[in-house]
Amino acid sequence: MISTAPKTFYKAFGLTVSSDIHLPELPLCKLDSDGEPDVVIEEAQLYNLWCMYSEPGEDFVIKQNSIMFYLSGKGIFLIQDGKKIFFSPFEGSHEREIRLYLLGTCMGAILLQREIMPIHGSAIDIDGKAYAIVGDSGAGKSTTASALMKRGYRLLSDDVIPVTLSDDHQPIVTPSYPQQKLWLDSLQHFGMNSSQFQPLIVREDKFAVPVSSQFAAESLPLAGVFELVSDDIDMIEIKQFSGLERFYKLFYHTYRNFFLQRSGLMEWHFNLCTKMINQFGFYQLRRPVNRFTANDLADMIIKTIHDGGKRL
């Protein structure tokens, strides 16, 4: 059963959110008496709409200003105009699982529709600047971010990083919300007890970890991006991206980048990347696949930042 929270307002991704479903992951906020939320999340009956517009075997129906998707055993979701999210949970679906997709894929779609670039990764505040850690699933993004937080740095975002441009083309990272998602193996390496955290249902060995005390609530300039890649090597290797490599990597690590073309956003994304591509350092860290390297990666990221990339 989905619990509702009428007229409750939250703050996430720089947006005010009103939601029919309780979102304990998000900090509460207040609206002015005549104010309107940026995003409204409502429960709705979407099955007939899905049958009307989808083709057999299709999981996504993507149009300009409208994205609808179907998750077997979980529900149907509809995102419209960068302002509304509708969800229709299936019988037996778990509330935590619905929230996972509302705050992940749905909010990623909202950002794209509002022409805010969502980068897939974790962002950390290091000395007053934002640094993004990107990579494929399982590359160690959140774990490396957690290792940096153990050194006293603060989290800006986990999973979806909202990026906009200032008037002088400086990329700016807006905080998302104060939670990390960590694998059981990572918790154990950091000496954290998994019984203190809730599993993320779809993956029983991945957990939601609140980090309110180490959350950076202010927007910061993006000063660097580090791509993590696992490989059959003995030692961590680092290189710096340049030229068209940077452009390709930005597209590749855009959250749900397959939304772009059918949403009519390719030209916007190209223009945004063109303006921001040379505004920050862009590196790749190749790490050994057969051992825990988060602490070593954190050390190398900090050293690279403090050296200004000069040692490469």
pLDDT at 2 over 60: no
* Amino acid present at 227: E
Q: What is the pLDDT of residues 92-142, one digit of tens each?
A: 999 999 999 999 999 999 999 999 999 999 999 999 999 999 999 889 999
Where residue 171 falls among pLDDT bands split at 50, 70, 90?
very high
Where residue 202 falls among pLDDT bands split at 50, 70, 90?
low
Q: What is the pLDDT of residues 26-60, one digit of tens each?
A: 999 988 767 899 999 999 999 999 999 999 989 99
What 200-209 contacts at long range (C-beta under 8 Å, 24+ apart), as own/partner pairs, is 200/96, 200/97, 200/100, 201/94, 201/96, 201/97, 201/100, 202/97, 202/100, 206/181, 206/182, 207/181, 207/182, 207/183, 208/25, 208/96, 208/179, 208/180, 208/181, 209/146, 209/179, 209/180, 209/181, 209/182
CA 303 to chain centre: 25
CA–CA distances in Å: residue 98 to residues 5, 22, 236: 15, 11, 37
Q: What is the pLDDT of residues 264-306, one digit of tens each?
A: 999 999 999 999 999 999 999 999 999 999 999 999 999 999 9
Q: What is the pLDDT of residues 137-154, one digit of tens each?
A: 889 999 999 999 999 999
SS3 237: strand
Q: Where are the domains positioned within the chain? A: 9-113, 117-307
Q: What is the pLDDT of residues 206-223, one digit of tens each?
A: 999 999 999 999 999 999
Segment holding 286, helix H or strand E: strand 281-288
What pLDDT score was predicted for residue 32?
Answer: 76
- Whole-number Å distance between alpha carbons of 139 and 123: 15
- Whole-number Å distance between alpha carbons of 281 and 297: 16
Measure the CA angle with vertex 110, ends 104 and 112; round to 5°: 100
Report yes or no: 88 and 46 within 8 Å, Cβ to Cβ.
yes
Closest of 161, 160, 151, 176 to residue 280, by C-alpha: 161
Report yes or no: 163 and 128 within 8 Å, Cβ to Cβ.
no
- Whole-number Å distance between alpha carbons of 19 and 8: 7
pLDDT at 312 over 70: no
Where residue 203 falls among pLDDT bands split at 50, 70, 90?
low
The C-alpha torsion from 208 through 209 and 210 to 214, rounded to 10°, is: -140
Closest of 49, 67, 43 to residue 259, by C-alpha: 67
Residue reference for tokens 């862009």: 282
> Phi/psi of residue 128, each to 5°?
80, 10
SS3 298: helix
What CATH number is given for 117-307 in this structure?
3.40.50.300
Higher pLDDT, 3 or 220: 220
Task: Tell me what the pLDDT averaged over the chain comes to.
Answer: 93
What pLDDT score was predicted for residue 300?
Answer: 97
